[in-house]
A and B are shown apart, each in its own frame.
Chain A
Amino acid sequence: GIQVEQSPPDLILQEGANSTLRCNFSDSVNNLQWFHQNPWGQLINLFYIPSGTKQNGRLSATTVATERYSLLYISSSQTTDSGVYFCAASNTGNQFYFGTGTSLTVIP
């Protein structure tokens, strides 16, 4: 299967700061998604981004498929951004491989 590595594993930010989360994957993919897991455990889909760049408010994501990595940018962080961020990759559509996540804490 696809090996997915995320960095950093933990991140503490002051409210208002910006951050970049990275996801490396070991094989070519045709489906790459970013999720935010809230404190109640639910995974909320942030982006479907197998290639290119997308933006949604304070969040944006870029995937460089040829170099097998994706980045999630969080600007002007808020306490509600706290949680664990996962990327998940697939090259079949049947099975998604998740990284171990980046745990983000935003302090006021």
Chain B
Amino acid sequence: KAGVTQTPRYLIKTRGQQVTLSCSPISGHRSVSWYQQTPGQGLQFLFEYFSETQRNKGNFPGRFSGRQFSNSRSEMNVSTLELGDSALYLCASMFGYSGTQETQYFGPGTRLLVL
């Protein structure tokens, strides 16, 4: 079974631009969560989608948004990029949703650099 895939793997943008990242979960998984990872900040939760509905949202500004499609693939969008948005963006999939004992399976991440 293929793992979680994320595209693109690397991205360079300039301030003020917007970016869309994509995540394909493990086949059969219905939940996708997104995280931002920066040096010294650990994994910061962005949001969780289950069956096309956002279930949970972290403490990030409205510039960060996401969606999930009927095939469980998910995208996250960051508008009006700032230098501080430079980070590794990770997505993780589960069959169920948070609140269960299920394990998350992480993708390799998209490394975004904002210049």
Chains A and B bind each other: no
